[in-house]
Amino acid sequence: MSNFSLLELIIVAGLLTALNPFNIGLFSALIAGTFGKGHPRATVHAVVASFLFTYSVFLALLSVGLIEILDILPIKTVAVIGLMIALMAVLWGLVLVKEFFWYGIHDNIPHRIYGVLHKYTVKRNNPAGGAILGIITAGTSLLNVSIQILSLSVIIALSKPNVEWWGLLVPLVFVMPLIIIFIFSLRRFKISAILKWKEDSKAIMRLSGGLTLIILGWVILLLLNGVIGSIL
């Protein structure tokens, strides 16, 4: 895979993965809670920046770490891991596509986690709270995006691009929709409208997420086709 094709895949898959109800809803609640406390704009910027920083650093460490581990493993081991992740991606993608036509998955957050998230989105609107919330959000959102991150890491490792640290592109793309939401909020765009759009678009987000996983699994299998042929 060429570097340009790899870049296109990361951007498209990353954006479709980032558009999930959990991240959008939580980040919108953080913005609404911070504005609701009447903080000056500088404080609002600091809270949001601290959230995005810790959130992206968490995902960057995970993505880069996975790629580095895959890079040092024997090619046979990488092929086996890639095959397992590709199958997981396709199977879970099919489940999500099914949910578009027949809703069966309920994205309820465990009560204990919900209480923590509520505290840092509504009650503790300061830069330190934003940083803590970013870490918690990144860890919790892995329930929704872990297979996507694994798939992208395998694709980058198998493609072996000439440019180093491609794994940093993954969290960068993941935070782009959140940055856009924040820019809209600064332009007096109502957070309630964003939350309504999120609720109305849940099914489409589920469908796009499922199709993204299926495509990522298919790309891994195509890349492994050459790898497996060279080691058999």
Q: How many residues does the chain have?
A: 232
Q: Does residue 52 contact residue 178 with C-beta atoms inside 8 Å?
A: yes
Per the CB < 8 A criterion, the answer to whether 131 and 51 are in contact is yes
Per-residue DSSP letter, 218? H
Nearest to 152 by CA among 170, 165, 139: 170
Residue 164 has what DSSP assignment? Answer: S
pLDDT value at 103 more than 70: no
Quote the tokens at residue 200. Answer: 């109305």
pLDDT tens-digit map of 123-170: 667 788 888 888 888 888 887 788 999 999 899 888 876 666 788 888
pLDDT, one tens digit per residue, over 181-225 is 888 887 777 877 887 888 888 888 888 888 999 999 999 998 888
State the pLDDT at residue 125: 72
3-state SS, 49-107, equals HHHHHHHHHHHHHHHHHHHHHHHHCCHHHHHHHHHHHHHHHHHHHHHHHHHHHCCCCCC
pLDDT tens digits for range 51-70: 999 999 999 899 888 888 88
